[in-house]
Amino acid sequence: VITALFVCLGGVALWVLHVLRSLVEPIIAAEVRGTFDDHLTARVVRAAYRLPTELAAELEAEWLAELGELNHRPRLALRFVRGLDKAADAIAGDLLPGSIAAHNAVPAGAVEEIRIPGKRRGPAAIQREALSSNWLAFIEVAPAQEAQVLSAVFEGESTVEIAARFGIPIREVHLLRARGANRLSALGRPPTQG
C-alpha cells in the first residue's frame, strides 16, 4: 500500500511539474527572446547614433529592417549587430573623403583654416567654417608663400582654390577625435567648438 501510495504521489508530482513547466517555459522563453531582441535593437540604435546626423536615421532604418529578417537566426543576428559599431565608426570616419568622393566636389567656401608654420597661435591661423560638423580642413602655408596666400584669402579665394593654385595639400582633422589630443589648440581652434 505504501509503495503504491509513493508511486501515486510520484506520478502526481511529475504531472504537476509537467504542467508547471508547460506554463512557465513559454513565459521564460518569450522573456529571454524579448530581452535578446531589445538588446539587438538597442545595439543597432546605439551604432546608428555614432553616425553623422544626415546618415543616422537612414542607416538605422535599414539596419533594423535587416535585423528583422534575422528573427529566426539569433546567432547571425548577433554577428550582424556586433559588426555595426565598427561599420558606423568606419562610415563616420570616412565623412570627409566621403564628401569629396560623394559629390566629386568640395564647396569652395567650405575649407577652413590656413596654418602658417611658426605662427600656430594668434591671427596667423585664419579660420572660417568647418567642412562639416565633425571635420575641419586646413592647409599649411610655407613662410615664403605667406604673403601671397594671405592676400588671396583677403580677396575671398577659398582655401580649396588657394590649395590648388599653390599646390598645397589639403589636410583635415576630425574635431572630436582631435579634441583629446589637443591638436585643435595647435591649429588655433578652441577645443570647445565642433
CB 24 within 8 A of CB 66: no
Q: Residue 172 Cβ, how far from other proteins at the closest point, in Å?
A: 13
Contact characters 88-117, other proteins, x per CB under 8 A: --xx--x--xx-xxx-xxxxxx--------
Counting Cβ atoms within 10 Å, is residue 141 exposed (0-12), middle (13-18) or buried (19+)? buried
Q: Cell 532604418 appears where?
A: 61
Min dist. Cβ of residue 25 to other proteins (A): 26
Question: Rounded to an integer, what is the distance from CA 129 to the centroid of its chain?
Answer: 22
CA distance 169 to 75: 46
Tell me whether residue 82 or residue 120 sits nearer to other proteins (CB atom): 82
- How far is residue 79's CA from residue 179's CA, in Å, rounded to a whole number? 32
Name residue, grid cell 558606423.
88
DSSP element (H, E) containing 50: none
Q: Taking CB under 8 A as the rule, does residue 158 contact other proteins?
A: yes
Interface with other proteins, residue 28, by CB under 8 A? no
Asked if 132 interacts with other proteins (CB under 8 A), we say: no
- Please, which residue, 84 or 173, has the CB nearer to other proteins? 84
- Binding residue for other proteins, selected from 40, 56, 67, 114, defined by CB under 8 A: 67
Toward other proteins, which CB reaches closer, 62 or 129?
A: 62
DSSP class of residue 185? H
- According to DSSP, residue 138 is labeled E
Task: Report if residue 34 touches other proteins, rule: CB under 8 A.
Answer: no
Q: What SS3 class is residue 127?
A: strand
92/186 with CB nearer other proteins: 92
Query: If binding is defined by CB under 8 A, does position 78 make contact with other proteins?
Result: no
Could you tell me how many residues of this chain bind other proteins (CB under 8 A)?
38
List of residues contacting other proteins (CB under 8 A):
59, 61-70, 79-87, 90-91, 94, 97-98, 100-102, 104-109, 158, 160-161, 164
